[in-house]
Structure 1
Amino acid sequence: MYSMLPEPSLYTVKAVLILDNEGDRLYAKYYDDTYPSVKEQKAFEKNIFKKTHQMHSEIDLLEDLTVVYKSNIDLYFYVIGSSHENELMLMAVLNCLFDSLSQMLRNNVEKRALLEHMESLFLTVDAIVDGGVILESDPQQVVNRVALSKDDVPLSEVTAFALQSATEQLRWALLR
């Protein structure tokens, strides 16, 4: 009996997904090679959406995976682990993700707001899960960590500055 149990592992999360109300991907991060190609990932996402979008439970087994999910307005949040994974751990990750985004977006967790704040989403997921290992499950700690990360110069400003600098250098080179 005990030989059938898998070895304990810190690699708890296999994927974090956010789909819109039509089942299209807004965000997906896979932490292992269960679905190595984008085609396989999208097929899995369509399958998971088809099975869960009309159900009112929060936990499901699909393709030998444990899936915990939550829907809000026009978004579906999924955290996926192996079939042997503790559902409460996966649910803690899901709740942390949703509550962190809810705090950052001022309770406006919907598709448009999420698309406008994608950098916060990326930082949030990275603060909660790293390589499939759960790092944090307290939303306030995640929000604080993301706020500190966002104090760095945003990539868009760095890119705009670099573009402006390159344009000025080109202009000076043409004038010489």
Structure 2
Amino acid sequence: MSLSVHSSRGALGGAGSPELGPSRALLPGQLQEPSLYTIKAVFILDNDGRRLLAKYYDDTFSSCKEQMIFEKNVFNKTSQTDSEIAFLGGMTIVYKSSVDLFLYVVGSSQENELMLVSVLTCLFESLSHILRRNVEKRWLLDNLDGAFLVLDEIVDGGVILESDPQQVVQKVNFRTDDSGLAEQSVAQVLQSAKEQIKWSLLK
């Protein structure tokens, strides 16, 4: 697969919009049907290209093997570039690096790049709030449950639900407060529950 990359740092930084690639062009008389399902996938890889978090929202890559191959191709084509937008295999990919992580949002080749960028920015800023630290591998792995909650508040089944990180954080905090997860991970809560059950049986 070939990748066409062009600079659009202004898009993620808020100063200017990305140039549209040639793959965006439609033939005369050809109309792109509107769709709410704008996001094909969101995934986070470490700086070796290994998956840490991923969600796919359609059957473009129907098997885990196909997904992993796609992620590897995306990583190989983007990890050494300064651009933050790419076109690969008929898809538009926006991405951002943070310490030892790469965050990716994937849409169709006809998708509005600014819409994809808004999802990426919301994801990154929401994770920054939730982790209360830099968005990096160590803290992400310790808080994967919270990271999935964040993603679920932003995208559901490929539909963008929210692009305001403050709203996302509020909703996640509300959900975690209700379930007692505000200051601890799901794994910690499960372990605590197991301990309580064990002691209740011993009494």
TM-score, length of structure 2 as denominator length: 0.78
3-state SS of the aligned residue for 2:60?
coil
Which residue is 1:103 aligned to? 129
Tell me by how many angstroms 1:170 deviates.
6.1
Q: Which residue of structure 1 aligns with residue 191 of structure 2?
A: 160
Matched, 1:135 2:161: yes
Partner of 2:91: 65
Question: Could you tell me which of 70, 73, 79 is aligned with 1:53?
Answer: 79
Counterpart amino acid of residue 150 in structure 1: T
The CA distance in 2 between the partners of 1:50 and 1:25, in whole Å, is 13
Distance 1:92 1:131 in 2: 17
What does 1:8-157 correspond to in 2, within 5 Å? Answer: 8-151=34-177, 152-154=179-181, 155-156=186-187
Residue 118 of structure 2 aligns with an amino acid whose one-letter code is A
C-alpha displacement of 1:157: 5.7
Helix, strand or coil: the match of 2:166? helix
SS in 2 for 1:4: coil
Structure 1, unmatched stretches of 5+, are none
Q: Which amino acid aligns with 2:176?
A: K
What percent of counterpart residues are identical?
Answer: 58
In 2, Cα distance between equivalents of 1:170 and 1:137? 47
For 1:153, the aligned partner's letter is G
> Please, what is the CA RMSD of the aligned residues?
1.8
Structure 2 unaligned spans of 5+: 1-26
Task: State the match for 1:4 in structure 2.
Answer: 30
Once the two structures are TM-superposed, the CA of residue 27 in structure 1 deviates from its matched residue by 0.5
Render the CA deviation track for 1:33-91: whole Å, top value 9, x for unaligned.
Answer: 11111111100000000000011111110011000000011000000000000000000
The worse-fitting range, judged by mean Cα deviation, of 46-55 and 103-112 is 103-112
Count, aligned residues? 172
Look up the equivalent residue of 1:160 and give its one-letter code.
Answer: Q
Whole-angstrom distance in 1 between the partners of 2:133 and 2:96: 15
Q: Could you tell me the TM-score, scaled by structure 1's length?
A: 0.90
Q: Name whichever structure is richer in helix by fraction.
A: 1
